[in-house]
Structure 1
Amino acid sequence: MKLSILIPLYNKEKYIERCFKSLLDQGLSNNEYEIIIVDDGSKDSGAAIVDEYAEKHSNIQLIRQQNQGPSVARNKCLAAANGDYVYFLDADDYLATNVLRLIIALAVENDLEILEFDTKQIAESAALDFDSLTQNPQDLPVLVMDGISYVAEYGFRNEAWRYIVKRSLLVDAGVRFIEGTLYEDAIFTASLFITAHRMAKVDIDVHRYIVVENSIVTSKDRAHNLKFIHGMVNAIEHFHGLIKDLDSSHVDYNKVVKSLRGRQQAFVFALLIRTLKYRLLSFKDLKKILSRLNTYEAYPIDPKIGGIGEGNTRRFYNNFFVPIFNNKTCLFLGMVLMRAVPS
């Protein structure tokens, strides 16, 4: 079995069939790959749709569980996987046609532990786009490097659907999704990348990321946003641990530390923006969080490290927002003003 595609499912009946259609149009035989879905206690008919596909396709497996969150579902998917490589995909996304065969071939030919590829962001209302834009992908260079060098060269994005990973690397390194928190993708990806010995990125148009209204990312719900706040704090803490454990003798050590610290500060910045925008915390609670972030060397924000915005946006954020965020008196006044503005 070459590849296991692992999908957590929760109330995605509107999208799961589209996802399946793209996965079954990859030019692979059933014995080359499997699709494992863990239904996380969905309240819609998504699991019933999966059942219908599983009856027709021997390489589709459905596992049911009570609602425990996407991390638990992903870990359960992984425990059931048999593929040499695994790919974590979201149920509301899909893939371009006939791209997985090439991705698998490149990973095997180059003995890669991780292979990253390109994604395209599409609005939920936009027309379906199954055609890959990549021309002559077999001619694309594959530059293999260890994970620390890779992060120094390319940085990293949080999402686990940007790459396939050798299952043995996950098993040997003991990397899993942390359960009961948000931003688990960021922790998972960073932990995995700096552990790898052979990884690469290829400019192949593979994945379609669908921007879904009222998803957990775009939701304005107060409870969800509080989970985001605590998830960011948890991620910042884990990144602090990764930095402490990083091999200081590596030639790219300083670059990777800066990259990880930059990601920490991006989380701090996003945490403060979300706190102000949605009036989420009391100033007393925020002070406790900021004190905790200070012990992780993530606060105050250091503009020299980077990680907040790009180009002119970065300059604006660093010149306007960062001085306010780094001054607790100004931050408190900002919270008072935001509470006075009608939501």
Structure 2
Amino acid sequence: MKLSIIIPVYNVEQYITGCIQSLLNQGLSDNEYEIIIVNDGSKDNSIGIAKQFQLNHTNIFILDKENGGVGSARNYGLNAARGAYIYFIDPDDYLANNTLKPILNCIETSNLQVLTFISKGTVQTNLHESTTNINKDYNISKTKGTEYIASKGYKNEVWWYVTSKEFLDAIDLRFIEGRWMEDAIFTASLLTKATSVAHLPIDAHRHVKVKGSAMTSKEPSHYLKVIYDNANAALMFKPLIDGIKKNKENEACIERLKTRQQSFVFFLMIRILKSTIKLKEVKKIITSMREIGAYPLNSFLGKDYSGFIYTLLVKLFNIKGMYYVLFITFNPILRLKK
């Protein structure tokens, strides 16, 4: 079997039909790929909808597990996957028609560990045709993952690439469980270890921007979890950066990873200003980020993050005392030190 597509599912009945249907509109036969739907304790009719598709397609499999979050569900599906290549897609996203076939052909014939392609953000659910020529014979350039990070605007999310399962198993890479930002840690770990990566300029993936998604939730306990999980992501990047330094590899890759690491810190600092967290906890977080070299934000501004607002905020945030003043000013009653 060529490909395993893994979908973590939790309460997405509004979108899952479009996702599954798009995966069936790829011009591939059922014996070429499998669609693994991981039921992560879903409570709505998402799995009922998936079972209706399963009645007519022998390559659709539904795995049930207790709710454990996206990372846990992806790992569950990955451990069951039989395909030579792996693709993760979220159930509220979808693919343009017939794009998987050229992607699979490219990664196979080029003997790649990772192949990236184009993903577009949208609020529409009916953009079924690729805006690129999917039948064109593209000349791709194979490179090491560290060089790819250095030269490309690589993204955190797992939905913009297909990867070799043999390679994933060889480096024993799985998602962290129970935390947000699991994509960012997985992708950076994958690319820093890969020796054969390429980009295929095919418009394939549609990321549907869902209002009220988990990452945009303002519920206090969830908001605090995102803050701490951003701090954890910054921490997890340290050994990746240190490993590249030790091997005296691409300096531009190190700077790109530092930028990504400090982006977690920058955005957690933004969230902190809007949260109910206490000042003493803020000081602990800032101190821990300083200890791993992720604060002050001296590598954040550049090709990935630029402009007046970013520059102004970085200047303010890098003055620790000023940041604490901003923090207290936003909500002085909730910020009283205990």
Normalised by the shorter chain, which TM-score bucket?
A: over 0.9
**AA aligned opposite 2:43:** K
User: How many angstroms does 1:217 deviate by?
Assistant: 1.7
TM superposition score normalised by structure 1: 0.93
Aligned equivalents of 1:89 and 1:172: distance in 2?
A: 22
> What is the letter of the counterpart of residue 318 of structure 2?
N
Please report how far the alpha carbon of residue 249 of structure 1 lies from its aligned counterpart in structure 2 after TM superposition.
4.2
Contact in 2 for aligned 1:258/1:305 (Cα 8 Å):
no
Q: Which amino acid aligns with 1:234?
A: N
Q: 2:297 aligns with which of 297, 301, 308?
A: 301
Deviation of 1:309 after TM superposition, in Å, equals 5.6
Asked if residue 268 in structure 1 is aligned to residue 273 in structure 2, the reply is no
Quote the residue 2:66 is aligned against: 66
- Are 2:141 and 1:143 aligned? yes
* Map 1:3-152 → 2, pairs under 5 A: 3-123=3-123, 126=124, 128-135=126-133, 137-152=135-150
Work out the number of aligned pairs and report it: 334
Cα displacement string for residues 63-117 of structure 1 (whole angstroms, at most 9, x for unaligned residues): 0111111111000000110101000000000000000000000111100110000
Secondary structure of the residue aligned to 1:281 is coil
- Secondary structure at the residue paired with 1:246? helix
Q: How far, CA to CA, are the matches of 2:16 and 2:179 in structure 1? A: 24
Q: Is the alpha carbon distance of 1:162 and 1:29 closer, same or farther for their aligned partners in structure 2, counting shifts above 3 Å?
A: same
Compute the displacement of 1:176 (Å).
0.4
- Confirm whether residue 172 of structure 1 aligns to residue 170 of structure 2: yes
1:196-231: per-residue Cα shift (whole Å, max 9, x none)? 111101111000000001101222222221111111
Long gaps (5+) in structure 2? none
- Give the corresponding residue for 2:325: 333
- Identity of paired residues, percent? 40
- Unmatched 5+ residue regions in structure 1? none
Residues 134 and 202 in structure 2, CA contact (< 8 A), matched pair in contact too: no
Shift of residue 242, structure 1, vs aligned partner: 0.7
Give distance in 1, aligned partners of 2:279 and 2:170. 43
Distance in 1 of aligned mates of 2:72 and 2:134:
39
Q: Which amino acid aligns with 2:176?
A: I
Matched-pair contact (CA < 8 Å) for 2:26–2:98? yes
SS of equivalent residue, structure 2 residue 254: helix
1:250 deviates by 5.0
Contact map agreement 1:279 1:335 (CA 8 A) in 2? no
Question: Residue in 2 aligned with 1:219?
Answer: 217
- Partner Cα separation in structure 1 for residue 167 and residue 136 of structure 2: 25
Classify 1:305/1:137 alpha carbon distance in 2 versus 1 (closer, same or farther; 3 Å): farther
Q: 1:291 aligns with which of 263, 287, 291?
A: 287
Root-mean-square deviation (Å): 1.7
> For 2:206 and 2:275, how far apart are their aligned partners in 1?
33
Q: Aligned to 1:317, which of 310, 313, 320?
A: 310
Say if 1:308 and 1:328 are closer, same or farther in 2 by CA, change over 3 A: farther
For 2:294, give the aligned amino acid.
A
Q: 2: distance between equivalents of 1:168 and 1:61?
A: 21
**In the aligned structure 2, how far is the partner of 1:67 from the partner of 1:251?**
40
Distance 1:127 1:180 in 2: 29
Give the superposition deviation at 1:138: 2.4
| AA in 1 matched with 2:313 | F
Q: Which amino acid aligns with 2:292?
A: Y
Deviation, structure 1 residue 241: 1.0
Distance in 1 between residues matched to 2:18 and 2:255, nearest whole Å: 40
Matched residue SS, 1:200: strand
In the alignment, what sits opposite 2:179? Answer: 181
Structure 1 letter corresponding to 2:152: Y
- Distance change >3 Å, CA 137–CA 268, structure 1 → 2: farther
